[in-house]
Structure 1
């Protein structure tokens, strides 16, 4: 009888733990990975009180329209400049190149940047930074714009997936220092893809 009771108790305990570990939201691998990162106290930019109730970020629905093929025109002679951030810190960046692409029948251009300090770090030697502003900012998406991570391509073609656009950490916690998106990277269209504005508790 004792064994039966113990087995029942253990089963209830396992079920209770299983319910506590609800699967994180996300319809794509990128969304699930980002949600897992934000749920984990060791990697999350969220404030403790926001993380406590966190079940997943809000995303626009994945839309293949926002996966575009861009032509990269490299700018090897561009100079390093001090990109402003949300604090007194400045980030030394250079325009690595200019991306040209068609989205919803319209031609667009964005500068893609390379960070002076970041390329000296292991694993980030080929990292590029694509910040942008668009007409969803301050309404459906974060007012300060969003970022996309990229890598130096072998040729002159890059795939930009706006479904992987994410918010600066400053959107969640003002203790972070985030690069301010340059005005020349404003897209005069709605980018209804990627992470939406964060609903703070």
Structure 2
């Protein structure tokens, strides 16, 4: 069996990067060639890539009440294809310079849901859409007291209007099956947790 992945970074030749836009996000034009599976090199390829930084998303879970803490907020990107652009999500935020992932988790949990994270467990990380953006999202599970999760939160300067929603595991599974949860970070986090719940609980128990 061939090794995976077949190629590495040395099998890519970038001939040009050209900034196209620099605003809330950055848009960069790349020109490059890369090795082909059948041998040789590709023709010159041109792609526009969105540079928006990297993010953390944390699934808040109360192991005593067996409940998740979600948030609901408006997303303009969902307007074109969703029944409603108000989405059920998990707490998330961009990683600022010189800020650790754990710091982002705790900051965003307080800003968006009004809760304090106790223990954390790293789940996984993934590329959100590598054909067009460099963004990598890191998923964590955060232990919280769900009884403290309520109300509307968010930062005025970021035009945030965020409603806290609690849900049991059965309710969350029902939301998944009904398509009420249809954004990648939340889908991935909940499904990962349902597969690995005992591992998370064991790690928290060992760190008690």
Instruction: Please state which band the TM-score falls in when normalised by the shorter chain.
Output: under 0.3
TM-score (norm 2): 0.24
Structure number with greater CO (CA < 8 Å, separation at least 6) is 1
**Which has the greater radius of gyration?**
1
